[in-house]
Structure 1
């Protein structure tokens, strides 16, 4: 690591960490014998380079290498974001997320806010899970819970994703919000292919402007 700055040294160290490793300012400072200020700056730079992610109530962890960029926020992408398991509704995994809501209310009130294609984040309330599916929404079960067989069958029949994640509701909402923001940012990026004209009109050194006009016309 000769010739490296301290910041570069820390970033190289982070790159070599296994996926999912928890990282802290104090831990880096002690391991690499650097100041906590240097460790903090390196972690912030690692976030910009998408080497690590900071998740509320979890901490900073080493991200999966070469995570695929996404233009569409499908349920397949969402499942990866929350490190979830698909319990049913595999046929709807390529649908795009429209909006999500947290089902922390009575069923009668919850269904008033659901429109087909929504994602409802719920805990281990099987009655609410079933009601959300019947209202046309995909369901995210937090806390790592499973669900009843007939609910899985309903999700399969309706092709509505039924996903379980070990994260809590707050963390899931935070992760999905972040994914939505990243997706919107990517949609704002203008690529060369978006504006490039195929078969463009061009002028050769031997051609006159009049000749070009005749070609175009």
Structure 2
């Protein structure tokens, strides 16, 4: 049985590889903006939004891998009541950081697991304390390109780590996906984590 990651995220891949899993990479092609717009009209809670995105990605990819385990994920930053996804441009990243520096946000990470024995959706919430960064460093960080495709316009494990004062919660979730949550979901569906480790580890 293969472990399929319905994402092209380098951070999610890094976490799984570091944890002994070499997944099949099969990114989903769902219209995230359309899903978010529909849920906004319905007044969905922030956690429900990221879980719905994760579910849509996993379910699309799972159609191609019916005999395997498929994980979909999505992360967004909740700050002052507003959900924020990827900034995508340098200028948008600078604006985000000018607003969020010195504040506390919550990184919401939705996960959806599709397996032959059932499905499981779960949410990981981690508090993030953003540093007071000066304008020169904010611009320099944005122009590295690193935060452009990251939820909340930051990374914890790379250059962005300079500007995160602390977190409260699951570090792996902030980087890309929650290993503790994934372990619990696999157990609940009758799997062992070690089933998916590289053969050289077992």
After TM superposition, the score normalised by the length of structure 2 is: 0.24
Larger RCO, structure (CA 8 Å, separation 6 or more): 2
Which protein shows a greater Rg?
Answer: 1
After TM superposition, the score normalised by the length of structure 1 is: 0.23
